[in-house]
Amino acid sequence: MEHPLHLFRFCPRCGSDSFVINDFKSKRCNGCGFVFYFNPQSATVAFILNDKGELLVARRAKEPAKGTLDLPGGFSDSFETAEEGVSREVKEETGLDVCEAKYLFSLPNKYIYSGFEEHTLDLFFLCRTRQATALKAADDVSSLGWVPIDSLDAQKFGLQSIRKGVEMFKKMVKNKEII
């Protein structure tokens, strides 16, 4: 198995080509001593229900998993909370304004971007939105639709953490832990 930082050949601090494996999650520069750790990036995911108890589902417009089902969400930006991140992503992808984001659970994931395997920690939220305006698929979403929870097929979701998260959410709804 390749080291997660195998594509990083030069020290990001001093530019030395003596950037070597330190351990299974870091590289160290023999020139300046800098150690770079490969830690997961945070990402957010939104479960949004309408007044009929249907879940808002998106279709991915871009790789990875282009054309498969997804939930609104994405990478957190620097200097924003997870709640701010999920609100921003929902607005960018659907046009909806989040008025409440309740944390549910987290799952690890792998996300291939530009040929690089990003490890993420996906934070799942139950979001209430102001639905005064019509939905509008935008950003990296090609379409949006409402699906009854009992009709959700987790295998149609392209990302591993989303598949698992949908299954967990369905169980939470069934056990009346949500709603």
Instruction: Write down the pLDDT at residue 132.
Output: 58
Helix, strand and coil content of the chain, in percent to the nearest 5, comes to 20, 40, 40
Report the alpha-carbon distance of residue 179 to residue 69 in Å, rounded. Answer: 23
Q: How many domains does the chain have?
A: 2
Task: Say if residue 21 is in the same domain as residue 48.
Answer: no
Task: Say if residue 72 is in the same domain as residue 110.
Answer: yes
- Is there a domain that residue 179 lies in? no
Task: Say if residue 93 is in the same domain as residue 138.
Answer: yes
From its phi and psi, is residue 25 left (phi > 0), alpha (psi between -120 and 50) or beta?
alpha
User: Residue 77 phi/psi, 5° resolution?
Assistant: -90, 160
- Is there a domain that residue 120 lies in? yes
Query: Residue 1 sits in which domain range?
Result: 1-38
Ordered mean pLDDT values, 10 residues apiece, the chain (179 residues): 88 97 96 95 96 95 96 97 98 95 97 86 95 83 96 96 98 90
Task: Say if residue 79 is in the same domain as residue 13.
Answer: no
Instruction: Write down the pLDDT at residue 113.
Output: 83
Task: Say if residue 112 is in the same domain as residue 145.
Answer: yes
